[in-house]
């Protein structure tokens, strides 16, 4: 957990600039770390980085009259989070992260266009990334808190399963099954 | 013959609207279908409360109520096995000397249930569990390619897993659909034509079954 403060600091810095590309890269990088360690706290930070990157790409959100107060609230909570991380008080850090998530969900709920909220979409998106990295679908869903059915539906529309891996085809599997049926 | 399902395969089949073929397959081939309580929660209890996924949960629940699929709890011996499997599967691969957790409780429960029921067939649509049973060594190379990092493996644990599941056959929802088609268990649901079969297989793929376009094309004879 040594790097947690640094990671939160990087997310805050990228968000304040704002550096959208760096936020997205941070989301992916922190998820990789989370996957290696089965670390849900890091997974939450990666979700936040991803959500902040998405918020910044939405013109109707960043030009809204409430955006500045939401932005400042997020920055304040990230700053507090950094302090908690420095004190290694990860429970309080988690509270600050939840406060950031609440800010994100609040503005998304007020101004978003979709039934599935930004934070839930982030969970699915990052869980699919964890699946690509080699975790099982269940483990990937559990890491980010994504719904397994939604994750499976999402993955079905990607090219993840087109990857050429050593594989037993449909006919061969059926053949093996029929042999034991006899 | 006892067959164990994990959540991913039931999710795929229920989304294709072909789930009733399981009842017909059961009768025609003398099969018995089982799921663990965790899988039942994932496929029925939880999504039945979510409007978007409730219908599929209802479909599976109907089969459970009709006892076409049985929810089988793990006995104490199998719970111990599940813990053992957790230690083996989730300590197989390491990055910077830290074990990487690749399998989740529900998936491990399905594997333990196989042993409890003396079953040789697991129906699973997600990729990692399948690779773990069929070719655990390939998981390491997949992870290294994806992470661009050196991944260490515990060869002993890989061998243990390989031996434990050496006789296990993995089927996916596409194989069940193909089998149902061959045995006419899809009668009344789709036409008995190659195009209809192809459509049904793609429906499973687009519901999340880990099957490629190439595999389906090869199977229906269009390659």
pLDDT digits (tens, 9 = 90+) for B102-127: 999 989 999 999 999 999 999 999 99
Domain ranges (residues) in chain B: 2-72+171-220
Round to whole Å and give the CA distance between B46 and B53: 9
Residue B95 has pLDDT above 60, yes or no: yes
pLDDT at B149: 83
Percentage of chain A with pLDDT > 70?
A: 98
Mean pLDDT of B168-173: 96
Angle at the Cα of B28 from the Cα atoms of B24 and B32, rounded to 5 degrees: 75
Residue B195 has pLDDT above 70, yes or no: yes
pLDDT at A110: 85
Mean pLDDT of A147-167: 87
Are β-strands B93-95 and B2-5 bridged in parallel, bridged antiparallel, or unpaired?
Answer: unpaired
For the record, the structure tokens of B196 come out as 């209809």
Higher-pLDDT residue of A107 and B71 is B71
Q: Is A158 helix (H, G, I), strand (E, B) or coil?
A: coil
- Closest Cβ opposite residue B139 in set A134, A139, A169: A134
| Contact across the interface for B178 and A136, Cβ inside 8 Å | no
| Contact across the interface for B207 and A168, Cβ inside 8 Å | no
Using 50, 70 and 90 to split pLDDT, how confident is the model at A159?
A: confident
Q: Name the residue of chain A whose CA is nearest to B126's CA.
A: A137
Round to whole Å and give the CA distance between B197 and B199: 5
Compute the nearest-CA separation of B75 from chain A (Å).
Answer: 22
pLDDT at A121: 92
Question: Contacts of residue B9 in chain A, CB cutoff 8 Å?
Answer: none
pLDDT at A1: 53
Higher-pLDDT residue of B223 and A67 is A67
Higher-pLDDT residue of A53 and A109 is A53
Using 50, 70 and 90 to split pLDDT, how confident is the model at B222?
A: low
For chain A, give the longest Cα–Cα distance. Answer: 71
Question: Contacts of residue B105 in chain A, CB cutoff 8 Å?
Answer: 138
Three-class SS of chain B: CEEEECHHHHHHHHHCCCCCHHHHHHHHHCCEEEECHHHHHHHHHCHHHCCCCHHHHHHHHHHHHCCCEEECCCCHHHHHHHHHHHHHHCCCEEECCEECCCCCHHHHHHHHHHHHCCCCEEECCCHHHHHHHHCCHHHHHHHHHHHCCCCEECHHHHHHHHHHCCCCEEECHHHHHHHHHHCCCCCCCCCCCHHHHHHHHHHHHCCCCCCCHHHHHHHHCCC
Lowest-confidence region among A64-73, A110-119, B47-56: A110-119
Using 50, 70 and 90 to split pLDDT, how confident is the model at A112?
A: confident
Q: How far is CA A156 from the centre of its chain?
A: 19
For the record, the structure tokens of A41 come out as 């706290």
Best of B127, B131, B152, B213 to mutate (most A CBs within 10 Å, chain A): B127
pLDDT at B22: 93
Residue A108 has pLDDT above 70, yes or no: yes
pLDDT at B194: 93
Q: Is A32 on the interface with B (CB under 8 A)?
A: yes
| Contact across the interface for A133 and B95, Cβ inside 8 Å | no
Do A116 and A149 touch, CB atoms closer than 8 A?
Answer: no
Phi, psi of B4 (to 5 degrees): -105, 135
**For the whole model, what pTM was predicted?**
0.91
Percentage of chain B with pLDDT > 90?
A: 78
- Closest Cβ opposite residue A152 in set B208, B212, B218: B208
| Contact across the interface for B213 and A162, Cβ inside 8 Å | yes
Mean pLDDT of B26-32: 94
Question: Contacts of residue A38 in chain B, CB cutoff 8 Å?
Answer: 100-101
Residue A2 has pLDDT above 70, yes or no: no
CB under 8 Å to A62, separation ≥6 — which residues?
Answer: A55, A56
Round to whole Å and give the CA distance between B88 and B193: 45
| Contact across the interface for B126 and A157, Cβ inside 8 Å | no
Are β-strands B93-95 and B152-153 bridged in parallel, bridged antiparallel, or unpaired?
Answer: antiparallel
| Contact across the interface for B146 and A176, Cβ inside 8 Å | no
| Contact across the interface for B215 and A169, Cβ inside 8 Å | yes
| Contact across the interface for A136 and B212, Cβ inside 8 Å | no
pLDDT at B114: 96
Percentage of chain A with pLDDT > 90?
A: 81
- Closest Cβ opposite residue B143 in set A134, A136, A170: A134
- Closest Cβ opposite residue A152 in set B8, B178, B214: B8
Per the structure, the complete domain to which residue A135 belongs is given by 4-181
Best of A138, A142, A155, A164 to mutate (most B CBs within 10 Å, chain B): A138
| Contact across the interface for B101 and A181, Cβ inside 8 Å | no
Q: Is A182 on the interface with B (CB under 8 A)?
A: no
pLDDT at A36: 85
- Mind listing the pLDDT tens digit for each residue in A71-103? 999 999 999 999 999 999 999 999 999 999 999
Scan residues 54-93 of A and list those with Cβ closer than 8 Å to B: none
Mean pLDDT of B149-177: 93
- Mind listing the pLDDT tens digit for each residue in A15-25? 999 999 999 99
Mean pLDDT of chain B: 93
| Contact across the interface for B104 and A138, Cβ inside 8 Å | yes
Higher-pLDDT residue of A2 and A105 is A105
Question: Contacts of residue B175 in chain A, CB cutoff 8 Å?
Answer: 170, 173-174, 177
Round to whole Å and give the CA distance between B25 and B23: 5
């Amino acid at each position: 957990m040594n790097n947690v403060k640094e990671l939160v600091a990087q997310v805050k810095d990228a968000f304040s600039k704002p550096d959208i590309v760096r936020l997205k890269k941070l989301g992916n990088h922190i998820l990789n770390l989370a996957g290696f360690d089965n670390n849900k706290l890091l997974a939450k930070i990666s979700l936040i980085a991803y959500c902040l990157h998405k918020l910044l790409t939405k013109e109707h959100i960043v030009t809204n009259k409430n955006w500045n107060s939401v932005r400042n609230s997020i920055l304040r909570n990230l700053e507090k989070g950094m302090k908690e991380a420095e004190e290694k008080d990860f429970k309080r850090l988690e509270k600050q992260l939840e406060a950031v998530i609440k800010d994100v969900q609040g503005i998304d709920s007020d101004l978003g266009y979709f039934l599935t909220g930004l934070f839930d979409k982030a969970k699915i998106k990052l869980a699919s990334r964890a699946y690509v990295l080699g975790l099982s679908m269940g483990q990937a869903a559990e890491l980010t808190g994504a719904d397994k059915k939604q994750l499976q539906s999402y993955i079905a529309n990607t090219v993840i399963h087109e990857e050429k891996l050593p594989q037993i085809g449909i006919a061969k599997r059926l053949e093996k099954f029929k042999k034991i049926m006899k | 013959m006892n067959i164990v399902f994990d959540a991913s395969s039931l999710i795929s089949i229920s989304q294709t609207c072909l789930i009733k073929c399981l009842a017909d397959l059961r009768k025609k081939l003398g099969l018995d279908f089982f799921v663990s309580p965790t899988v039942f929660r994932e496929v029925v209890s939880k999504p039945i409360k979510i409007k978007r996924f409730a219908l599929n949960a209802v479909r599976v629940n109907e089969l459970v109520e009709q006892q076409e699929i049985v929810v089988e709890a793990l006995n104490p011996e199998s719970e111990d096995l599940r813990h053992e499997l957790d230690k083996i599967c989730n300590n197989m691969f390491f990055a910077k000397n830290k074990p990487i957790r690749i399998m989740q409780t529900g998936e491990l429960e399905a594997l333990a249930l196989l042993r409890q029921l003396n079953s040789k067939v697991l129906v699973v649509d997600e990729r990692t569990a399948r690779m773990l049973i069929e070719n655990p060594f390939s998981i390491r190379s997949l992870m290294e390619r994806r992470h661009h990092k050196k991944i260490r493996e515990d060869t002993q644990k890989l061998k243990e897993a390989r031996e434990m599941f050496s006789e296990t056959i993995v089927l996916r929802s596409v194989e069940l659909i193909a089998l149902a088609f061959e045995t006419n268990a899809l009668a009344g649901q789709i036409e008995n034509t190659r195009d209809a079969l192809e459509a049904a297989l793609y429906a499973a793929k687009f519901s999340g079954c880990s099957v490629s376009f190439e595999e389906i094309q090869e199977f229906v004879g269009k390659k």
